[in-house]
């Protein structure tokens, strides 16, 4: 018995050390961005892995240059990124959770077809539809930060409905029946009974969608009118001079400023991810 417990402890220790070392592979790129954001541009290319010190140290000049480069204000890009991310995530959470509730409660052929179409949409590469999407968005006037959330809803619905539908199957139907007996209609039942129970999966889906929309470059680049609207990833892409020369120091500084908000948000909410994913993975 003692030998078995000792072996289990050793196994857990070895796995903990292994995964701790493995996590360094994901942390290293972030450390590299931090180091190079404080270097003079020349040394970013020649001393990429060195700690910025002495003549390599650029201070905060890279941050100032990145924020003042070109004619488009950086704070404006930040504002549009926040607007698109918050509105898109809110629209995705509301529409997909209500859709998943209906799909999981109404056992019909149409609902099953809609569910499997949403799941199938997760395996369709964005590159297959991006040119058609760009043309359609221009035609329907979805090329502004106020309308692009509709496009994000189309691409984010698959994963969200899949997770919400799995979790809905764990909610006792008796709770909703009791609400109906008390006089609640579908809207009140959803907002007062179903939505509070959905909190773990709701937070988990919100985290995944926020990280996706905030960091997304290709969809806003194709859809938005870039003469009027830029998100942070698009703003960073335009940090180049004539003949395609890029100031890597300023670019790294802007990348760092772009990833800091989502890293802080992720660290604050990471405990909900596993809980929400596990809850939404219930087999019906």
Structure confidence by residue, pLDDT tens digits, 216-226: 998 999 898 88
Last residue of a domain, one of 61, 77, 98: 61
* pLDDT at residue 277 greater than cutoff 90: no
pLDDT at 5: 59
- Is the same domain home to 74 and 106? yes
- Is the same domain home to 40 and 135? no
Structure confidence by residue, pLDDT tens digits, 69-127: 777 888 899 999 999 999 999 999 999 999 999 998 887 888 889 888 888 888 888 88
pLDDT at 10: 78
- Is the same domain home to 162 and 251? yes
Q: Classify residue 255 as left (phi > 0), alpha (psi -120 to 50) or beta.
A: alpha
pLDDT at 231: 92
- Is the same domain home to 49 and 98? no
| Domain assignment of residue 82, given as a range | 64-280
Q: What is the mean pLDDT of residues 141-158?
A: 90
Nearest C-alpha neighbor of 281 from the set 166, 117, 191: 166
pLDDT at 70: 74
pLDDT at 81: 94
pLDDT at 270: 73
- Is the same domain home to 124 and 258? yes
Mean pLDDT, the chain, rounded, equals 84
Q: What is the mean pLDDT of residues 243-272?
A: 82
Cα angle 252-253-254, degrees, rounded to a multiple of 5? 90
pLDDT at 242: 54
- Is the same domain home to 259 and 225? yes
- Is the same domain home to 31 and 131? no
Number of domains in the chain: 2
Cα of 255 vs its chain's centroid, Å: 16
Strand intervals (E) in 45-143: none
Q: What is the mean pLDDT of residues 36-56?
A: 85
* pLDDT at residue 192 greater than cutoff 90: no
Contact 198, 164 (CB under 8 A): yes
- Is the same domain home to 22 and 140? no
Q: Residue 68 has which token pair?
A: 């003042």
Long-range contacts of 180-188 (CB under 8 A, 24+ apart): none
- Is the same domain home to 56 and 35? yes
What CA dihedral angle connects 92, 93, 94 and 95, to 10 degrees?
Answer: 40
pLDDT at 72: 82
Q: What is the mean pLDDT of residues 162-190?
A: 84
CATH number for 246? 1.10.3720.10
- Is the same domain home to 236 and 265? yes
* pLDDT at residue 283 greater than cutoff 50: no
Last residue of a domain, one of 61, 78, 110: 61
- Is the same domain home to 170 and 40? no
* pLDDT at residue 284 greater than cutoff 60: no
């Amino acid at each position: 018995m003692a030998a078995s417990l000792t072996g289990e402890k050793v196994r857990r220790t070895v796995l903990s050390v292994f995964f701790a070392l493995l996590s360094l592979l994901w942390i290293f790129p972030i450390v590299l961005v931090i180091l190079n954001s404080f270097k003079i541009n020349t040394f970013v290319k020649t001393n990429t892995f060195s700690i910025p010190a002495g003549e390599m140290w650029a201070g905060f000049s890279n941050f100032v240059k990145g924020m003042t480069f070109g004619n488009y204000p950086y704070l404006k890009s930040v504002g549009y990124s926040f607007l698109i991310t918050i509105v898109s995530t809110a629209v995705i959470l509301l529409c997909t959770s209500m859709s998943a509730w209906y799909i999981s409660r109404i056992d019909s052929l149409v609902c099953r077809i809609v569910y499997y179409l949403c799941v199938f949409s997760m395996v369709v590469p964005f590159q297959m539809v991006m040119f058609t999407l760009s043309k359609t968005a221009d035609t329907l006037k979805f090329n502004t930060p106020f309308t692009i959330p509709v496009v994000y809803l189309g691409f984010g619905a698959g994963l969200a409905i899949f997770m919400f539908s799995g979790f809905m199957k764990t909610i006792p139907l008796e709770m909703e029946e009791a609400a109906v007996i008390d006089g609640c209609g579908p809207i009140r039942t959803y907002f007062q009974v179903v939505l509070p129970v959905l909190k773990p999966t709701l937070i988990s889906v919100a985290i995944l969608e926020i990280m996706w929309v905030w960091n997304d470059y290709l969809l806003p680049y194709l859809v938005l009118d870039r003469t009027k609207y830029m998100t942070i990833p698009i703003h960073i892409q335009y940090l180049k001079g004539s003949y395609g020369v890029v100031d890597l120091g300023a670019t790294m500084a802007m990348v760092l400023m772009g990833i800091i908000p989502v890293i802080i948000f992720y660290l604050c909410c990471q405990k909900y991810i596993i809980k929400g994913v596990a809850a939404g993975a219930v087999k019906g």
